[in-house]
Chain A
Amino acid sequence: MNIPIERGKVVTVARGQSTSVAGFSLSKGLGVVFRHWRRAWFEKQHQNVPATASESAPNAGNDKSKPTAFVTLEDMSKSYGTFTVEYPEQRIKLPEAYRNMPVLLYDDETGHELCTSCFQCQRICPPQVIHMTQAKDPASGKPVPSVAEFIIEYDACMSCGFCAEVCPFDAIKMDHEFELSTHDHPSLTVYKRDLNRPVSYYESIAPGFWAEARERAYKKLATNMKRRPGAIGIAPHLTEKITAAQAQAAQAAAAQAPAAKAPAKKAAAPRAADTAAAPTDKEAKLAAIRARNAAQKGGSAPAAGTAADAPLPTDKEAKLAAIRARNAAKKGGSTPAAETSAEESPPTDDKAARLAAIRARNAAKKGDATPSEESDQPAAETPPANDKAARLAAIRARNAAQKATEAAEQAADSATSTPEAPASSSEEGKPLDEKAARLAEIRARNAARKKGDQE
């Protein structure tokens, strides 16, 4: 049947007769399969891509140690049939337009974040997973075109890309990172600290898109930077770097002994924070997340957020210990009411500190036992060093606790966490520390002994 209609016709599909003699269709089908197999075997361009190339992928995911090779679309179009790309050694090169989850950009040189907290992205987000607070000038209390905290719930984000489209300051962009699966569900609520990416990173994944946006983005950033007093607007981990440098100088002058091994690691710590995508120190990150969670449960979210992010320019184990100690202290408080009382009344505080000291000591001991963490500490097994480490840890735990208290107090009036908060508190806390540390040390030792007796 052929009925002509406008610009075409109606055609009846011919059903036809089966041309096969019974039994032959099987061999015919196998013939088709064989033909495909043969072509796929001989036209295999992507195989020329070595499984381990020297070029490292910008989106190589968590495991940066393994180099990645890209299979480009061109390789694929030259290949035939279905084939296996040997992920994760080989990857398909992602197109520039690819979008997965949004990230925030900051300028490489000045460290200033492009975001001005204009709330456009928050408003347009269809599942409403973007949350932010605007930065305030601590002197005048007036809002500053900068963002204090920025949270995206990655687990509910639908990767629509509207936030990146609507942002007038080109501050939020869609990342190419897709290896986000984790057992740690709360870690998918991502804070500004882990959202920040340098502009150079975005340029490397989407050069064409950034070339378009570059000029207007920097122009707007320059205007906004003028309206940001002090360190407001600088990516927190870069503020940390400065603080770390200052603290290092002070420490080197004051006490040489405990800092003997620290500097080597000090250099490494901010770097790790630098590329948040590469959690070199997984344990610490996990601990930080846990600390944050516990704090959230406790009810003082932003404060604890800062505390968890507080710079501890020290060896990792102590950092971990401090975080754990703080966690424990929080858990001891458990309810917000109890927590406040813990902060105000010395007895409870003391208890928490003692607990912290025990934990710190334990952690320090544990740290000594693990060779990977302490491989560069030759005196790992000698008791004096052990004691020293414990003392150090105790000091730091105490410090952290204090910082947490102070941050909480600050947060109480401003409800936001300003980047300088940790820096100032650490400096003010210095003179107190000496005494408190000694106290904590004694307590830790006592507690350890008591514990030993019990066991």
Chain B
Amino acid sequence: MKAEGTMIKTEELQINIGPQHPSTHGVFRMLVTVDGETIVDLKPVFGYLHRNHEQIAEVNTYLQNMPYTDRLDYFNSMANNQAYAMAVEKLAEIEVPERAEYIRVIMVELTRILNHASALGFLINDMGAWQTPLAFGMREREKILDLFESTSGARLMCNYFRFGGVVRDLPPDFVPRLQSLLTGLPTFIDEFERMLRENEILRIRSEGIGVLPKEVAISYSVTGPVLRGSGIPYDIRKAEPYSIYDRFDFDVPIGTVGDVYDRFLVRIEEMRQSKRILEQALKQLPDAEGGHINPKARQNIRPPVGDAYTRIESPKGELGFYLVSDGGQTPYRYKVRAPSFINLTPLSDMCRGYKVADVVVILGSIDIVMGEVDR
């Protein structure tokens, strides 16, 4: 090395991370151009999990698609169910009874908690805190999955929603069990938050890393906790209240910097807000007389000619279903606006200039599920 302060001659190198790599959260490849340890460019490559979801949906009847939506974002099958059910209900103009709406909200908010608990567990896992914090997150998730199982019959592939309601009513012990779960939740959330806040290793790995400026976030039409982490208070439950979300008090947390740390904090706060919604929903839950499904709603429907787009605030962002009906039994066009897919697109902007080790953390902070990205 010369002492005159001239730069060492370096060469750029292209490396592959993935498609089969434990930290890529699925089958996902990143083509990274590095200069030493620093990232010069990054190209996300996806499509490895493509399984023709939308085309299959166009030969299935409307009801037959319901279990397929479970398999989009397999962490949040309840949220996927809701978005799809809402789209069909809008298309065919089906009313949903009160109680069914409350059950739906309860399920989707539970989904949000379990999604964030496991996503943050995986995020800390990616930062190198191997397994133990993840196990804490998974423990909470398991409790919620037990509730799902006793209600819908399955832990992940719930297939619980039907047009005009839900498939069956809550089991008798559901409400007390949910209440005891909610009682224990704040302890878990606080502890989980402290684990990052008070640990300088995790703070160094997350503060100022993967910054996504407001303008960039908007131009990529990023949604969900990633967008809110960048400081934009946009939540579809507030911006365009669907279902019965206008009946609940809850706050929208936002970040200031837009780094990994902010996204973490936003998700922690969202779990608290979900708990608030759940408590209100349990209080307001109408008794079983209201019925869990609209008895007039047919499941084997032929909606009138037309199209409908509905969107919900899924735990990962704006999840939308666009359906076109030609009056037949099957959708003429079926399109999913998947939040994971769109949130993943600014990955190269978020990674440029950081170190290779940060890529894994940044990717973890976006919280993607490849089932939804590739469809």
Does A41 reach chain B (CB closer than 8 Å)? no
Does B101 reach chain A (CB closer than 8 Å)? no
- State which residues 57-109 of A face B: CB under 8 Å: 73, 76-77, 81-82, 94-99
A15 and B253: CB pair below 8 A?
no
Query: Given A8-B238, A82-B135, are A161 and B255 also a contact pair (CB < 8 Å)?
Result: no
Q: Which listed residue, B139, B171, B203, touches A97 by the CB 8 Å rule? A: B171
Residues in chain B near residue A77, CB distance under 8 A = 177, 180
CA distance A94 to B153 in the complex (A): 9
CA distance A9 to B276 in the complex (A): 13
The stretch of B17-25, B262-270, B305-313, B318-326 in contact with A is: B262-270
Query: Given A18-B197, A33-B132, are A11 and B191 also a contact pair (CB < 8 Å)?
Result: no
A7 and B199: CB pair below 8 A?
no
Total inter-chain residue pairs, C-beta < 8 Å: 129
A8 and B233: CB pair below 8 A?
no
The residue in chain A whose Cβ has the minimal distance to the Cβ of B233 is A10
The stretch of A24-32, A185-193, A218-226, A353-361 in contact with B is: A24-32
B159 and A161: CB pair below 8 A?
yes
A158 and B250: CB pair below 8 A?
no
Shortest Cβ distance from residue A37 to the other chain B in the assembled complex, whole angstroms: 10
Does A5 reach chain B (CB closer than 8 Å)? yes
CA distance A36 to B201 in the complex (A): 21
Query: Given A7-B248, A126-B64, A160-B67, are A18 and B261 also a contact pair (CB < 8 Å)?
Result: no
Shortest Cβ distance from residue B111 to the other chain A in the assembled complex, whole angstroms: 18
A13 and B246: CB pair below 8 A?
no
Does A162 reach chain B (CB closer than 8 Å)? yes
Shortest Cβ distance from residue B76 to the other chain A in the assembled complex, whole angstroms: 17
Does B33 reach chain A (CB closer than 8 Å)? no
Residues in chain A near residue B269, CB distance under 8 A = 11, 13
Does B168 reach chain A (CB closer than 8 Å)? yes
Does B257 reach chain A (CB closer than 8 Å)? yes
Residues in chain A near residue B289, CB distance under 8 A = none
Does B373 reach chain A (CB closer than 8 Å)? no
A5 and B238: CB pair below 8 A?
yes
The residue in chain B whose Cβ has the minimal distance to the Cβ of A37 is B132
Q: Which listed residue, A15, A19, A124, touches B256 by the CB 8 Å rule? A: A15
- State which residues 124-163 of B face A: CB under 8 Å: 129, 132, 135-136, 138-139, 142, 146, 149-154, 157, 159
Does B252 reach chain A (CB closer than 8 Å)? yes
A81 and B250: CB pair below 8 A?
no
Does A174 reach chain B (CB closer than 8 Å)? yes
B249 and A8: CB pair below 8 A?
yes
CA distance A183 to B256 in the complex (A): 55
Residues in chain A near residue B37, CB distance under 8 A = none
Does B282 reach chain A (CB closer than 8 Å)? no
Residues in chain A near residue B265, CB distance under 8 A = 13-15
CA distance A293 to B270 in the complex (A): 55
Q: Which listed residue, B139, B199, B238, touches A82 by the CB 8 Å rule? A: B139
Does B341 reach chain A (CB closer than 8 Å)? no
Does B222 reach chain A (CB closer than 8 Å)? no
B154 and A19: CB pair below 8 A?
no
Query: Given A97-B152, A98-B153, are A11 and B254 also a contact pair (CB < 8 Å)?
Result: yes
- Select the residue from B138, B154, B201, B266 with max chain A CB neighbours within 10 A: B154
A126 and B255: CB pair below 8 A?
no
A15 and B257: CB pair below 8 A?
yes
- Select the residue from A8, A13, A158, A159 with max chain B CB neighbours within 10 A: A13
Question: Which 4 pairs show the lowest CB-CB distances between chains A and B?
Answer: A95-B150, A160-B67, A13-B265, A99-B153
Sample of 14 further A-B pairs with CB below 8 A, known A11-B252, A25-B201: A7-B248, A10-B253, A12-B253, A13-B253, A13-B255, A15-B207, A18-B197, A25-B200, A29-B199, A33-B132, A82-B138, A99-B153, A158-B67, A165-B167
- 17 A-B contacts (beta carbon < 8 Å): A9-B251, A11-B253, A13-B253, A13-B254, A15-B207, A15-B257, A15-B261, A18-B200, A20-B199, A20-B200, A97-B150, A97-B168, A124-B61, A124-B300, A158-B67, A158-B157, A159-B154
B-side residues, CB < 8 A to A, are 60-61, 63-68, 129, 132, 135-136, 138-139, 142, 146, 149-154, 157, 159, 167-168, 171, 177, 180, 191, 194-195, 197-201, 203, 207, 231, 233, 238, 246, 248-257, 261-262, 265-266, 268-269, 300
